[in-house]
Amino acid sequence: MNITETSIPGRNVVWESILDEVPGGVSVDVTRLDYTADGKEYLPAGTPVYVDLSTRVAEVCKSAAAAASGTATTVILPKEHHFKVGDSITDFAYCCIISDITEGDDTDTLTVPTGLITALGTVYGEAASAASGAYASSLRYTPNGMLKDKIRIAEGNADGAVVKIGSAREDALTFPIPDTYQIALRGGSSGTGTSLITLV
């Protein structure tokens, strides 16, 4: 008698429940993303997006968490981030313009003016400001949905489905969801927004 053991890896399931989606799906604007870089040809399920419901165009709400402690003028991010030179990156207290990105094997190092918190685990978003300075609660895009599935963007265009109401597993997400994004996804501080997504 032969005894064999088969180990089946678990699946990384993002959605616990999906109750509503944007009808007909959306086109994702990839012009703001570094979609030609290695390892960035896909956007993962659960990516936060802002959908213009009149045009059905989705903008990625960029976020990332520091993969290591940086210096006063450097931020170290995991490779899957979509920040680009010229973006305004914020730690939700201060924002800086990214002047350079040096690619490494496992991480990228962003060069910024002084002012940002650069400690390991710091969560960043994309600010609307075109200049460095105090963050005034103004994001470039505020999410009102999250991608339902992984979509390919390497060809410079992409369509996909966006969840508006549902429950997502936070530990299965590739990109962190800052508190500001979470409030927006739950309908905003007034509760009158177009989405109702909770993280579990």
In 4-55, DSSP assigns E strands to: 15-21, 26-28, 42-43, 48-52
- The span from the CA of 62 to the CA of 164, in Å, is 18
Structure tokens that stand for 46 in this block: 């659960």
- The span from the CA of 198 to the CA of 95, in Å, is 27
The H or E element that residue 100 is part of is strand 100-103
Q: In Å, how far are 22, 49, 168, 200 from 171, measured between CA atoms?
A: 24, 18, 9, 8
pLDDT at 115 over 90: yes
Least confident of 5-19, 116-130, 150-164: 5-19
- Which pLDDT belongs to residue 97? 95
pLDDT at 44 over 80: yes
Q: What is the CATH number of the domain that holds 100?
A: 2.40.10
- Torsion angle, alpha carbons of 167, 157, 154, 83, to 10: -70
Confidence of residue 11 (pLDDT cuts 50, 70, 90): low
Tell me the percentage of the chain whose pLDDT exceeds 70. 94
- Which pLDDT belongs to residue 152? 94
Residue 7, in any domain of the structure: no
Confidence of residue 121 (pLDDT cuts 50, 70, 90): very high
Domain shared by 57 and 26, yes or no: yes
Number of domains the chain is built from: 2
Average pLDDT over residues 62-78: 97
Confidence of residue 136 (pLDDT cuts 50, 70, 90): confident
Contacts 24+ apart (CB under 8 A), 7-16: 12/172, 13/169, 13/172, 14/44, 14/45, 14/46, 14/168, 14/169, 14/172, 14/173, 15/45, 15/46, 15/148, 15/163, 15/166, 15/167, 15/168, 15/169, 16/166, 16/167, 16/168, 16/169, 16/200
- Which pLDDT belongs to residue 50? 97
Contact of 119 with 66, CB cutoff 8 Å: yes
- Which pLDDT belongs to residue 166? 97
Domain shared by 88 and 146, yes or no: no
- The span from the CA of 38 to the CA of 17, in Å, is 32
Residue 98, in any domain of the structure: yes
pLDDT at 56 over 60: yes
Least confident of 35-49, 102-116, 165-179: 35-49
Domain shared by 175 and 152, yes or no: yes
The more confidently predicted of residues 3 and 31 is 31
* Contact partners, residue 154, CB within 8 Å, separation at least 6: 35, 36, 41, 42
Would you mind telling me the total number of residues written for the chain in this entry? Answer: 200
Whole domain around residue 52: which residue ranges? 15-61+142-199
Q: What is the pLDDT of the chain when averaged over all its residues?
A: 91
The more confidently predicted of residues 118 and 157 is 118
**Residue 24, class by beta-carbon neighbours within 10 Å (0-12 exposed, 13-18 middle, 19+ buried)?**
exposed
Confidence of residue 10 (pLDDT cuts 50, 70, 90): low
Tell me the per-residue pLDDT of 79-101, one tens digit each, with 9 for 90 and over. Answer: 999 999 999 999 999 999 999 99
Residue 86, in any domain of the structure: yes
